[in-house]
A and B are shown apart, each in its own frame.
Chain A
Amino acid sequence: AQSVTQPDIHITVSEGASLELRCNYSYGATPYLFWYVQSPGQGLQLLLKYFSGDTLVQGIKGFEAEFKRSQSSFNLRKPSVHWSDAAEYFCAVGARNTGTASKLTFGTGTRLQVTL
């Protein structure tokens, strides 16, 4: 069975500082990988996804993530954080063997706080 670990429950960074959110997955083959963001009181918005090909993927709002097969990781990065990035971030893995990427398993989330 697939699983996702987000080891950081809560992270605080200063506005303008760089950010890296960690995500480790467990899956028997090459997975589909996603990062979603949830602002307070909102639904989940897709930031970026990895299906195949280039292991460095670009997303919306200046975010990027790198798939590292050897480390079973898919860490999310942003070079300069804005106060509006304060939210909860979820990493998710999709199973290829269902024929779609849609059987998602989510991590428990990392809450990002941005200080001014």
Chain B
Amino acid sequence: EAQVTQNPRYLITVTGKKLTVTCSQNMNHEYMSWYRQDPGLGLRQIYYSMNVEVTDKGDVPEGYKVSRKEKRNFPLILESPSPNQTSLYFCASSQGFEAQYFGPGTRLTVT
């Protein structure tokens, strides 16, 4: 089954404690992306990757890092999380001009 998986699905952490949210896709897609969803703001792109070792900033990259060492994986790293990064995070992947497939989301709470 074609899918994008994210782990963990739910995470509560404290300010400053580094965390990683994993994202994996099994469709051999070149393009992967991270979004955050906040009430009233829709989805905003954090980072995206056009292929292995090729990443670029989206609209709200501050406080986040990403890496793309393998085609299937695109982890999101918060080196020093802060409460304003409390949000619902989605990973997505696509190929060429096709629409993006979204993962189930990760709800992060930073206290």
User: Total interface residues on B, using CB and 8 Å?
Assistant: 25
Q: Is A101 in contact with B40, judged by CB distance below 8 angstroms?
A: no
Q: Is B41 in contact with A108, judged by CB distance below 8 angstroms?
A: yes
Asked whether B74 is an interface residue with its Cβ less than 8 Å from the other chain, the reply is no
Query: How many Å from the CB of B50 to the closest CB on chain A?
Result: 8
Q: Knowing A43-B103, A46-B99, A49-B99 are in contact, say whether A102-B94 is a contact too (CB < 8 A).
A: yes
Within the assembled complex, what's the spacing in Å between the Cα atoms of A54 and B16?
A: 51
User: What B residues does A102 contact at CB under 8 A?
Assistant: 31, 33, 48, 94, 100
Q: Is B104 in contact with A101, judged by CB distance below 8 angstroms?
A: no
A 10-51 contacts with B by CB, 8 A: 32, 34, 36, 42-46, 49, 51
Q: Is A106 in contact with B43, judged by CB distance below 8 angstroms?
A: yes
Within the assembled complex, what's the spacing in Å between the Cα atoms of A32 and B96?
A: 12
Q: Is A107 in contact with B99, judged by CB distance below 8 angstroms?
A: no
Contact flags B39-60 to A (C-beta < 8 A → 1, else 0): 0111111001010000000010
User: Total interface residues on A, using CB and 8 Å?
Assistant: 23
Q: Is B40 in contact with A108, judged by CB distance below 8 angstroms?
A: yes
Q: Is B45 in contact with A103, judged by CB distance below 8 angstroms?
A: yes
Nearest to B98 among chain A residues (CB) is A101
Asked whether A71 is an interface residue with its Cβ less than 8 Å from the other chain, the reply is no
A 54-90 contacts with B by CB, 8 A: 90
A 87-116 contacts with B by CB, 8 A: 90, 92, 100-109
Chain A contacts to B: CB under 8 angstroms: 9, 32, 34, 36, 42-46, 49, 51, 90, 92, 100-109
Q: Please, could you name 20 A-B residue pairs with CB atoms under 8 Å apart, sorted by A? A: A9-B40, A36-B102, A42-B104, A45-B102, A46-B99, A46-B101, A51-B97, A100-B50, A100-B97, A102-B31, A102-B94, A102-B100, A103-B45, A103-B48, A104-B33, A104-B43, A104-B100, A105-B59, A106-B35, A107-B42
Closest 5 CB pairs of A and B: A108-B42, A44-B102, A106-B43, A106-B42, A102-B31
